Structure 1
Amino acid sequence: MAGSPDKAFPVSWDQFHRDARALAWRLHAFGPFEAMVCITRGGLVPAAIVARELEVRLIETICAASYHDYKNQGELQILKDVAPDIKALGGGTGKGVLVIDDLVDTGKTARMVRELLPKAHFAAVYAKPQGRPAVDTFITEVSQDTWIYLPWDMGLTFQPPIRHGAAG
């Protein structure tokens, strides 16, 4: 997301866990999955929760970065690709693979991973309108101008009431 967000959506650990379990409930109907690929770093936490709920044991990562200063999205960089044995699943199409991320924002990362695993099932806990078409399953949609503060990025701080001009 370029520039400063208009709205804030803080997510607690409890809420994130509930949302990730809700994602697992939805995904159960599309499985079973042979393997899971989580998009790091944000996909690591939901992947652990979903893998437990769906009993997926073969878990791989693809390491991608597009947010280089936590606020501004830049050029997408692949830091680590998916292992060849995971890419080979489904006859090289990714069929039977579940791809997980915490958030699909613009969809740039998901589209890039879909090129590698075109038949994989793509899921995110949270989705923004620009990214929604890039995933098959998600739990909560938030507006494009909202910054989601995930629990691993936050400390406990006071939030002023919305009525007093605070965004969130």
Structure 2
Amino acid sequence: MPQPEHAPRPEKIFPVSWDQFHRDARALAWRLHEAGPFDAIVCITRGGLVPAAVVARELNVRIIETICIASYHDYKNQGELKVMKGVAAEITSMRGQGKGVLIVDDLVDTGKTARVVRDLLPAAHFATVYAKPMGRPMVDTFITEVSQDTWIYFPWDTGLAFVPPIKAGGD
């Protein structure tokens, strides 16, 4: 049965498997190899932990720091940003304002979280695996752009389950 024209459009989803995420994180490392060398990585938790581990291995970076920022409090709606743990002074002072530092996250969405980290490390190189149009200007390097109305399902947030077809109907 066709939906009326005023019916809400289904949310776009982009499920990412562990294999795909690993390939994308390695592709990010390949791109970053030309932008380096990097003395340290700052990963934005929690999403940046996995790609930061892959990138650190591929680029042989041993100093890995975290910045802990919470913005998605219910997994769907971005709320007020809260810095729960900042970056160590040894990192922020590296070669002046973060030069030689690589910031890594899984996704830049609206750019709000990226802005907070950029303000702390303005000379750092910022990289994400995925980027949405609103946040894209905040990052220097990324692998895949998705539309702003797409929700990415990362492998650490999902399990195996039945997925209904995009269009209902049929046998």
- TM-score, scaled to structure 2: 0.92
Does 2:95 correspond to 1:90?
Answer: yes
Greater RCO, CA 8 A, separation 6+: 1
Does 2:135 correspond to 1:131?
Answer: yes
- Map of 2:5 onto structure 1: none
Q: Could you tell me how far 1:163 is from its partner in structure 2?
A: 2.8
Q: Could you tell me how far 1:5 is from its partner in structure 2?
A: 7.3
Q: Paired residue for 1:54, among 42, 59, 72?
A: 59
Does 2:163 correspond to 1:155?
Answer: no
Q: Deviation per CA, 1:137-167: give whole Å up to 9, x if none.
A: 00000000010000000000111222328xx
Question: 1:104/1:126 Cα in 2 relative to 1: closer, same or farther (>3 Å)?
Answer: same
Does 2:79 correspond to 1:74?
Answer: yes
- TM-score, scaled to structure 1: 0.93
- Map of 1:146 onto structure 2: 150
Count of residue pairs the alignment pairs up? 161
Question: 1:24/1:6 Cα in 2 relative to 1: closer, same or farther (>3 Å)?
Answer: same
Unaligned runs of 5+ in 2: 1-8
SS at match of 2:74: coil
CA distance in 1, matches of 2:27, 2:165: 29
Q: Paired residue for 1:65, among 70, 78, 96?
A: 70
Deviation >6 Å, runs of 4+: none
CA distance in 2, matches of 1:20, 1:11: 12
Q: Paired residue for 1:33, among 22, 34, 38?
A: 38
Q: Deviation per CA, 1:58-96: give whole Å up to 9, x if none.
A: 0000000100000010010000000000001012x1000
CA distance in 1, matches of 2:35, 2:129: 16
SS at match of 2:95: helix
- Map of 2:109 onto structure 1: 105
SS at match of 2:151: strand
Larger Rg: 2
User: Aligned-pair RMSD on alpha carbons?
Assistant: 1.3
